[in-house]
Structure 1
Amino acid sequence: MSISYDAPVLVVGGAGKTARRVTARLEALGLPVRPASRTTAVPFDWSHASTWDAALDGVSGAYLSYAPDLAFPGASDQVAALAGRLAERGVERVVLLSGRGEAGARDSELALLDAVPTASVVRCSFFAQNFTEGMFADGVRAGELAIPVPPDVPEPFVDLDDVADVAVAALRDDAYAGSVLELTGPQALTFGEAVAAIGDALGSPVSFRSASVEEFVTAVVAAGEPAELAYGLVELFAEVMDGRNVATTDTIERVLARPATSLADVVRPVAGHTNGR
């Protein structure tokens, strides 16, 4: 059954990659939305629970994205605490963005579903847009992506627009209450295959190299990020890039009644803009 919202849907993540897409889709449907992050008029900060009540005031649903990642220590405790406050307010339609194959993320999923059994989880493989607007974009622009992942393990990179479409479907349809929706792209590619395809689309070669932990941490810190983030990403890569996530799913096609978007189709508009077409 389709759900309508008279009160705002809280979208945690503000202008983040998935949150801004979810916000845009809800607004296009004419639904009231409250984007919230550390910098919005009504702020929300996962690390400061004192900001939560104002952000939650009067909301009728919520989309939750956690930064930097649910695999990081303490994430599940914060999700559990927020889920408890949502339950206290009687908020039944909640969607959590989660990571595929991550033990820490699984703890967060269970915490949410325990407190809000009608919530939904959107569990994703790596985002295709990480190559164009996320953590891998600088390397792609420089012509070499060097990160500590195996060169021979494929990943079915998923389109963020597909993710946002599924998240909005889960917010609006009772059919997905209590569900875990596992999303992948249509094809698993190694990082080398992925960046080669991106380079072809951009008309500028991009190579991949499996970097050492030390090299990666140094590069992240040099870019102005804390070492804790770099080491957390190293642990995340080691956990999920062991072959556990190679298989694709048909969830996007089942929910949206269309095929999942390929990495090539994600990159094509970016390449056209870059090439001035």
Structure 2
Amino acid sequence: MFRLTARHFTDGMENNAHRQKTTLVLGGTGKTGRRVAERLTAAGLRPRIGSRSSEPPFDWEDQATWALALKGVDAVYLAYQPDLAFPGAVAAVRSFTALAVESGVRQLVLLSGRGEEEAGISEQTVRDSGADWTILRSSWFCQNFSEDYLLEPVLAGVIAFPAGDVAEPFVDVEDIADVAFAALTEDGHSGQLYELTGPRLLTFADAAAEIAAASGREIRYVPVSPEQYAAELTEHGVPAEYATSLLDLFTGVLDGRNAHLTDGVRRALGREPRDFADYARATAATGVWGGR
């Protein structure tokens, strides 16, 4: 015979609260936000997508869109575009966070960048907001090679990039999304800073070799100077100001400061992070890189 206890009633109330919770996922069509939204949707939590094309729209560069996007929201997955290290990010995150808390948001999960001094300021803003917070301080995304600016070089067979022989603990964005989902739906993550890395260090040459092995194509890494890379960006139509900010970010975080592993994924999820080789094999199977 089933006996109804106070715990069953409390658990039911908590589960119902989770089902009714409204989460705004900023960057909801991007690499991490899209995956966070998919996980919330699969759990029946109906996230609100924060993007210029969503309804209501959200645009980091248009504060007039913020209030409506925040209406009735309980939690926010806070991902700033293009990056927390870019000019204007600190002020935007500060203004948005204040408005979010004023609007009734009780939880903030911030996607931050590992080794970025400017990102640290935004992290402190979220800590001091008065809301429950979790910070995901992430290393370089594996998916930059398949869903972003490094895809075209991979397809061309030559990854020319100003990273020298610095090693990076590339992290799979699937792990970032898993940690974000856990933080948004489970107890025990409030007040936690999770520094997220993959399980091993790879140079960009190592990463190119992994992609080549998985795709069956010849792909090599060619180190170039920051000046050469900036010139390449502008030749491809990237605005000079944006190219400068991007280059400052790359040369800053790829100076060796992040060449060590952390246990953030294991602390958050109780398992090891995905390896770059697993990412490469799974991505190659989609055909995005061509090859076999």
TM-score of the superposition, structure 2-length normalised? 0.90
> Structure 2: how far apart are the matches of 1:5 and 1:114?
27
> Structure 2: how far apart are the matches of 1:234 and 1:90?
37
**1:154-204: CA deviations, max 9, x gaps?**
000000000000001111223111221110000010111111111111111
Equivalent of 1:185, from 188, 195, 198? 198
**1:95-118: CA deviations, max 9, x gaps?**
111100100111111111111341
Answer whether contact 2:73 2:104 (CA < 8 A) is retained: no
Moved more, 209-218 or 120-129: 209-218
Q: What is the aligned partner in structure 2 of residue 66 from structure 1?
A: 80
| Deviation (angstroms), 1:223 | 3.4
Residue 272, structure 1, aligned to residue 285, structure 2: yes
Q: What is the aligned partner in structure 2 of residue 159 from structure 1?
A: 172
In the alignment, structure 2 segments of 5+ residues that lack a partner are 1-13
Distance 1:45 1:113, change over 3 A: same
Answer whether contact 2:134 2:193 (CA < 8 A) is retained: yes
Q: What is the aligned partner in structure 2 of residue 173 from structure 1?
A: 186
Answer whether contact 2:157 2:219 (CA < 8 A) is retained: yes
Identical residues among aligned pairs (%): 45
| Deviation (angstroms), 1:70 | 0.3
Residue 237, structure 1, aligned to residue 267, structure 2: no
> Structure 2: how far apart are the matches of 1:232 and 1:192?
24
Answer whether contact 1:73 1:104 (CA < 8 A) is retained: no
> Structure 2: how far apart are the matches of 1:258 and 1:222?
44
> Structure 2: how far apart are the matches of 1:119 and 1:5?
20
| Deviation (angstroms), 1:5 | 4.4
Secondary structure of the structure 2 residue equivalent to 1:220:
helix
**1:48-68: CA deviations, max 9, x gaps?**
111100100101111011111
Residue 96, structure 1, aligned to residue 73, structure 2: no
Secondary structure of the structure 1 residue equivalent to 2:84:
coil
Distance 1:49 1:4, change over 3 A: same
Q: What is the aligned partner in structure 2 of residue 143 from structure 1?
A: 157
Residue 112, structure 1, aligned to residue 150, structure 2: no
The code of the aligned residue for 2:20 comes to: D
Residue 210, structure 1, aligned to residue 223, structure 2: yes
Moved more, 3-12 or 241-250: 3-12
Answer whether contact 1:124 1:158 (CA < 8 A) is retained: yes
- Aligned residue-pair number: 276
| Deviation (angstroms), 1:273 | 3.0
> Structure 1: how far apart are the matches of 2:224 and 2:31?
26
> Structure 1: how far apart are the matches of 2:28 and 2:232?
27
Answer whether contact 1:87 1:115 (CA < 8 A) is retained: yes
> Structure 2: how far apart are the matches of 1:174 and 1:7?
14
Secondary structure of the structure 2 residue equivalent to 1:134:
coil
Q: What is the aligned partner in structure 1 of residue 91 from structure 2?
A: 77
Distance 1:57 1:264, change over 3 A: same
In the alignment, structure 1 segments of 5+ residues that lack a partner are none
> Structure 2: how far apart are the matches of 1:89 and 1:77?
18
Answer whether contact 1:125 1:184 (CA < 8 A) is retained: yes
> Structure 2: how far apart are the matches of 1:40 and 1:78?
20
Residue 38, structure 1, aligned to residue 38, structure 2: no
TM-score of the superposition, structure 1-length normalised? 0.94
